[in-house]
Chain A
Amino acid sequence: MDMQGAKVAKPWVEKADATYPALVDQSNKLGTKFQYNYVPLIILFNEQGRRVYGPQNFSIGDSEDRELLTGWLNDEPGVLAHRQASDGGQNGEFSEAEAALRFQYANYLLRNDQKASAVKQLEKALTSDPDNWIIHKQIWAIEHPEKFYDGNVDFGWQKEQLEREAQQNE
């Protein structure tokens, strides 16, 4: 999902020693197609390529999430239906056409070394779609790369940043 592309995602994929294909979605193609506005999440497709679940938030550290996934992979009946009923409508929507367009344009600008213009477009995209965490965090990552790409992601800083922004908006 990183707008900065494979180079920032690669260390995480290597660390996970992933045996599955890791795909790069620099322009949020799937977020636009499946209308989600946050990560991490999963989407499940059956053998015919039909979407049967998601997008829904997912954490491999969560035992219920793991049970859902293993249950589905092992053809346990009703495992998705039960979860969908309890999850009902929790996934957000990357539905703002303007936000999606501006996000893509910001990506183009960033790749062409126009960082300030890219951030401006992302800020406008966020105004159109204020609950979109993909846009929100992407702005942080561009403006404060040291909090994201110098070793571990600084989640403490993200929490403080949220508090700072809340104070500014009061």
Chain B
Amino acid sequence: MISKTFRTLITISLMVISLGIMPGKRQVLGDSMQSIRIYESTEDTTYHTAAIARGNQLYLSSNFLTSSLGLERKPLPNGTTGLCLGDLCIPMVSRSGDDPVYQEDNQEYYSINYFLDALGSRYTWDRESGTFLLGLRASNQQSPEQGTTPVEFSLPTMDGQEVQLSDYRGRKVVVFAWASW
């Protein structure tokens, strides 16, 4: 016989497990602090950090955002503050009822998907592995339309030498993409 208290605990646990961080969903991990893994695709690096999910926002500590992802809170000329990646700042003002800042135990937490949404960056939550995947510096912007502006990219050769398209300026370039499979 399972006691009522134990049944309640199981129900709460299942509720927490069934919630996920998805843009547009109101409930996420719950308000409790959880340890998650973050994969940042432009740096191709993973981090472990504490996170709080409230509403449809995932909050990470200001310390982590600054030390690991290079995001800093800065005053803006109009008297508000912004969350900034270098010179690019997103004003930290409440939108759609979600506050970009959350305080707990004298520590500030900033919404990461608030910033990513404003930036047009990619992100997704892999619930199964508890990993938040994001491309902080890779926006959803597509490559320039054919024939408009010069394109730039770089890739390594077989022995690791980095080659840029602009190395071939003044010459026609044929890029042939293939795989061994």
Q: List residues of chain A with CB within 8 A of the CB of B147.
A: 50-52
Q: A24-B155, A49-B152, A101-B41 are in contact. Are A153 and B180 (CB under 8 A)?
A: yes
Contact assessment for A137 and B157 in the assembled complex, using a CB-CB cutoff below 8 Å? no
Measured between alpha carbons, how far is A102 from B131 in the docked complex, in Å?
11
Interface-lining segment among B48-56, B66-74, B77-85, B136-144: B136-144
Q: With A and B bound together, what is the CA distance between A22 and B133 in angstroms?
A: 30
Q: Taking A6-B158, A50-B149, A148-B181 as contacts, is the C-beta distance between A30 and B175 under 8 angstroms?
A: yes
- Residues A2 and B157 in contact, CB atoms below 8 Å apart: no
Give chain B's interface residue range (CB within 8 Å of chain A).
35 or more
When the two chains form their complex, are residues A44 and B143 in contact, meaning their CB atoms are under 8 A apart? no
Mark out the residues of chain B between 145 and 181 whose CB falls within 8 Å of any chain A CB in the assembled complex.
Answer: 146-153, 155-159, 163, 165-166, 168-181
Could you say which of A32, A55, A101, A117 contacts B123, with CB atoms under 8 Å apart?
Answer: A101
Are B134 and A101 neighbours in the complex by a CB distance under 8 Å? yes
- Whether B180 pairs with A9 at a CB distance below 8 angstroms is yes
Q: How many A-B residue pairs have CB under 8 A?
A: 155
A58 to B175, CA, bound (A): 11
A102/B170 in contact, CB under 8 A: no
The reply to whether B176 and A40 contact each other, CB–CB distance below 8 Å, is: yes
Q: How far is the CB of A97 from chain B (nearest CB, A)?
A: 4
A72 to chain B, nearest CB (A): 7
Residues of B contacting A162 in the complex (Cβ-Cβ under 8 angstroms): none
- A-B contacts, 16 of them at CB < 8 A, read A1-B178, A23-B155, A24-B157, A24-B158, A33-B153, A39-B179, A47-B169, A51-B151, A53-B146, A101-B39, A102-B124, A102-B133, A104-B39, A120-B128, A137-B179, A138-B181
Q: Please list the 5 inter-chain residue pairs (A to B) with the smallest Cβ-Cβ separation, ordered nearest first.
A: A49-B150, A1-B179, A23-B155, A97-B122, A45-B173
